[in-house]
Amino acid sequence: MIRVAAVGDVHMDVDVLGRYRPSLEQLGERADVLLLAGDLTRHGTVNEAECVAREFGDLPVPVVAVLGNHDYHSDQQREVTKVLAAGGISVLEGEGITISCRDVKLGVAGIKGFGGGFAGRCASMFGEQEIKDFVRTTEKAATRLQAALLSLDADVLVALTHYAPVPDTLLGEPLEIYPFLGSYLLGQAIDSAPTSLAVHGHAHAGVERGVTPGGVRVRNVAHPVIRQAYSVYQLEAAPPARTPVSQGAGRGIDSLSHDV
């Protein structure tokens, strides 16, 4: 058994410093790892990243993060990543990490992800170059997430993204903006591995609980959704039994592996 704490969309700046800290002080008693699901800053500046490192650094458990769209706003995502890493926070962008805790090896594969929409109502690789670039960005992210998940040798596998892999957790958001909130390609990548849990943020008006077509539990941990400093999910070492999802129909992830 392993306990995974998670929160996203904390949008740190100097005015938020210290808000989370009282609840984080007891983190070691409640969880074995903390996942941060992107949008850690307001504008993606180095100064805001330093606030994230102060608030979520030096904790009694490992902290693993992905960046979100806000963290890219100032085109300083590399500097932001360095500041977080210097603060002891592991930032994933298409990589995986394993964490051993009480005889259980947890694998976390993380990437920011991107939009595109969901089955039947998604963008396609067609038309103007700008649309193709949009879709290609998501395809590459999904391919990298799949590769990271499959590369991990772990007892429990968790996928960490900022953008949503399923529409279930967007319930409450306007339908018109679903294509900007996530993509089914991320869900397909998650279903291609024996994933136990997928965690994302980004959808402030959504709901916490969803599931991929392949049966992987999805949790939207955007702070406005969970309305607490973090949520905790307890996972067993054996992944839950579920129905394998066919990768052969349409434009499957397998066909994109050359883009890695």
Partner 1 sequence: MVSEPRVVDEYADAEVHRMLTEDGTICEQGIEVIRRDGAVLLRGQVETVHRRDAIGERVAAMFPDKTVCNDIVVTAVAGPSEPEVIT
What's 239's DSSP letter? P
Q: Establish if 90 lies at the interface with partner 1 (CB under 8 A).
A: no
- Residue 223 CB, nearest approach to partner 1 (Å): 5
Q: Among residues 6 and 256, whose Cβ is nearest to partner 1?
A: 6
148 binding partner 1? (CB under 8 A): no
Under the binding rule (CB under 8 A), the answer on residue 112 touching partner 1 is no
The nearer residue to partner 1, 179 or 224, going by C-beta atoms, is 224
Q: Which is nearer to partner 1, 234 or 246 (CB)?
A: 234
> CA 226, CA 188: separation in Å to the nearest integer?
25
Residue 137's CB is within 10 A of a number of other CB atoms, namely 15
Phi, psi at residue 167, to the nearest 5°? -80, -15
Q: Rounded CA gap, 260 and 20, in Å?
A: 37
In Å, how far are 64, 147, 233 from 139, measured between CA atoms?
23, 12, 29
Smallest separation (angstroms) from partner 1 to the CB of 156: 10
The only residue of 54, 132, 140, 204 in contact with partner 1, by rule CB under 8 A:
204
Q: 94 to each of 91, 143, 145, 210, how far by Cα in Å?
A: 10, 9, 5, 23
Distance CA 83, CA 50 (A): 6
Q: Which is nearer to partner 1, 12 or 185 (CB)?
A: 12
Residue 70, CB half-sphere, CA atoms under 13 Å: how many? 19
DSSP state of 252: -
Q: With respect to partner 1, which residue has the nearer C-beta, 27 or 148?
A: 27
Comparing CA positions, the residue from 159, 247, 253 lying closest to residue 210 is 159
Span 37-56, contacts to partner 1 by CB under 8 A: 42-43
Least Cβ distance, residue 248 to partner 1 (angstroms): 28
Tell me if 123 contacts partner 1 by CB under 8 A: no
Could you list the residues that contact partner 1 (CB under 8 A)? Answer: 3, 5, 10-12, 15-16, 19-20, 22-23, 26, 30-31, 42-43, 70, 73, 196-197, 204-205, 217, 219, 223-224, 227-236, 240
